[in-house]
Amino acid sequence: MFSDQKIRIQKIQARLKKEGVCGVLLSTPINIFYLLERVVDGYCFVPTEGNPLFFIRKPIGLTDEKTIFSIHKLEQIPELLKDNGCVIDDSLMLELDELSVVSYLRIKQAFSLSVIPKDATKMMREIRSIKTDREIQLLKESARVQSEIFALVPSFFESGMTDRELSVRFESEMRLRNTAPQLSTFKDLKAGLCCVWTGDNASVPSPYDFSLGGAGHIALPLGDIGMKIEKGMSIMIDCGVNITGYVSDMTRCFSYGKLSEEAYRIHQVSLDIMQMVREAKIGDSCEELYLRSLRMAESAGLKEHYMGYKQQAKFLGHGVGLVVNELPVLCRHSMSCLEKNMVIAAEPKFIVFGVGAVGCENTFVVTEQGLNQLTFGEEKIIEL
């Protein structure tokens, strides 16, 4: 058992009692990792009281006598729960927003559920949004390594490079420092380790609900396209680093030679918005933080260029943790307020035609003293 496993279990059980249910059956890898800190193929049942029970198909060899059981199929779980004194009824919660229809119907039949269960997806995301002290330390370590990698960019940039060559060089530094080879997102959408945007490719719309797009690859339409980096272009690098199981998020802007004066003016607006976020405190509305950023962009005459062009991302920032897009989201209609030990990434970015993207991104932890920035390093445009 890791040091704060009991705390995480207690957080879930407090919500289960509030919901008035018998327990929750978790099947998504992220939520099981939250309680086991290990990637497995299987299930976890968390009762309202008592220890959670894990039912694992793969890998083999993780069994113990009390809480971890090896199974071949889902249908074995109800009998194992009964043998361990767990009473299951129609109040059982499931991660409905992330289960396939086939998986849902199979669980419903195996547990003889006669009603549609309550959805546990939002509940688990809300629980994960408030980090334990240990989780914050793990995020700090990811942010430290991430910040150190960004500081290396001037040393490996070369004249004549393409955006893809720069991306590969950056990602190789990440992998050599034990970064996970892929980023996990909500609903298990996979993303690459980093996005490099140069020139007008930064304004190309993408199917991803991220801050910017880029044409990217046909199988991953996001980020670099293999274009040569020319003088006068901005070079934006956005990456999530997962060293510890927890993802910190960071963006910095570089330039090949000097950019237009307008680009530097617009980048300063991003820094001003970042400072506004830095001054936030516990209890501040996530919606209001986003609306303030919109007003700042509009006041600078940049409303149409904020967070993309034509297809604009409708948020200022998002939570980070086990996935790169956790709760809360700093967006319109959000009902959330900042709470102690939330960890958020703020990323005010703008499109400058003929130049590229400008702006930055930092990861913060919400403390009683305000927002503590975990990522570090120069935030102005760095000339290469």
Span 120-173, pLDDT tens digits: 999 999 999 999 999 999 999 999 999 999 999 999 999 999 999 999 999 999
209-248 pLDDT, tens digit per residue, is: 889 999 999 988 999 999 999 999 999 999 999 999 999 9
**CA angle (17 as vertex; 131, 136 as ends), nearest 5:** 5
Average pLDDT over residues 166-182: 93
Say yes or no to pLDDT of 1 above 70. no
Tell me the H-state helices in 193-285. 261-278
At residue 305, the pLDDT reads 96
Q: Which CATH number fits domain 5-127: 3.40.366.10, 3.40.50.1980, 3.40.350.10, 1.10.15.40?
A: 3.40.350.10
At residue 60, the pLDDT reads 81
The two three-digit tokens of residue 382, written as one number = 């760095």
**Structure confidence at residue 2 as a pLDDT band (50, 70, 90):** confident
Class of the CATH-defined domain 130-383: alpha beta
Q: Tokens 């039949």 identify what position?
A: 109
64-121 pLDDT, tens digit per residue, is: 768 999 999 999 999 999 999 999 999 999 999 999 999 999 999 999 999 999 999 9
Q: Tokens 């008592």 identify what position?
A: 50
% residues pLDDT > 70 (the chain): 98
The whole-angstrom separation of Cα 291 and Cα 15 is: 31
Do residues 143 and 241 make contact, with C-beta atoms less than 8 angstroms apart?
yes
Task: Bin 188: left if φ > 0, else alpha if -120 < ψ < 50, else beta.
Answer: left
Do residues 246 and 240 make contact, with C-beta atoms less than 8 angstroms apart?
no
Residue in 117, 40, 30 with CA at minimum distance from that of residue 326: 30
Spatial CB neighbours of 64, under 8 Å, sequence gap ≥ 6 = none
The two three-digit tokens of residue 358, written as one number = 């400008």
Question: Where do the structural domains in the chain lie, given as residue ranges?
Answer: 5-127, 130-383
